[in-house]
Amino acid sequence: MKGLKSLNNTDSYAYAVGRTKALEARMLDTARIQRIAEAPDYEDAVRYLADSEYSHMVGDIGFEKALEEERRRVHLTVASYSPDPYFTGLFFSADDFLYLKSIIKGFFLKGTVESGIGREKKAGWLGLDAITAIAEAACKDEPRDEEEMKLDFASAAKKLTGAGYVEYVLRDAAYKAVAAFRASEDSLDIDVIVDKAYFGYAQQLASSRKASWLLSFIALKVDLMNIVMLMRAINTGKSIAFLEKSMIDGGNVALKELLDAYREGAARLQKLLESTNYWKTLSSGFEIWSKTSALRPFEMAAEGLLASYARQSKQMSSGYEPVVGYLIAKDTEITILRKVLTGKSKRLAVPFIRERLSDGNA
151-165, 192-206, 273-287, 324-338: the lowest-pLDDT one: 151-165
Identify whether residues 301 and 330 lie together within a single domain.
no
Give the domain range for residue 170: 94-209
**Per the domain annotation, does 240 fall within a domain?**
yes
**Per the domain annotation, does 179 fall within a domain?**
yes
The pLDDT-based confidence of 110 (bands split at 50, 70, 90) is confident
Burial of 147 from C-beta contacts in 10 A (0-12 / 13-18 / 19+): exposed
33-47: average pLDDT: 91
The pLDDT-based confidence of 114 (bands split at 50, 70, 90) is low
Do 38 and 351 meet the contact criterion of CB atoms below 8 Å apart? Answer: no
- The whole-number pLDDT of residue 355 equals 76
**Per the domain annotation, does 121 fall within a domain?**
yes
Identify whether residues 100 and 168 lie together within a single domain.
yes
CA distances from 179 to 145, 167, 192, 214 (A): 17, 18, 13, 32
End-to-end C-alpha distance for the chain, whole angstroms: 37
Listed residues 176, 209, 242: the one ending a domain: 209
Listed residues 209, 235, 259: the one ending a domain: 209
Classify 34 as helix, strand or coil.
Answer: helix
Identify whether residues 104 and 71 lie together within a single domain.
no
Identify whether residues 99 and 167 lie together within a single domain.
yes
- The whole-number pLDDT of residue 217 equals 97
Q: Is the pLDDT of residue 277 over 70?
A: yes
Identify whether residues 99 and 204 lie together within a single domain.
yes
Do 343 and 330 meet the contact criterion of CB atoms below 8 Å apart? Answer: no
165-180: average pLDDT: 96
Using only C-alpha atoms, what is the Rg of the chain? 21
CATH number of the structural domain spanning residue 75: 1.10.132.50
- The whole-number pLDDT of residue 362 equals 46
Mean pLDDT across the chain: 90
**Per the domain annotation, does 43 fall within a domain?**
yes
Identify whether residues 62 and 103 lie together within a single domain.
no
Identify whether residues 136 and 160 lie together within a single domain.
yes
- DSSP letter for 109, please: H
Structural domains counted in the chain: 3
Q: What percent of the chain has pLDDT over 70?
A: 92
Q: Is the pLDDT of residue 125 over 80?
A: yes
64-73, 272-281, 300-309: the lowest-pLDDT one: 64-73
The model scores a pTM over 0.85: yes
By C-alpha distance, which of 63, 40, 356 is closest to 49?
Answer: 63
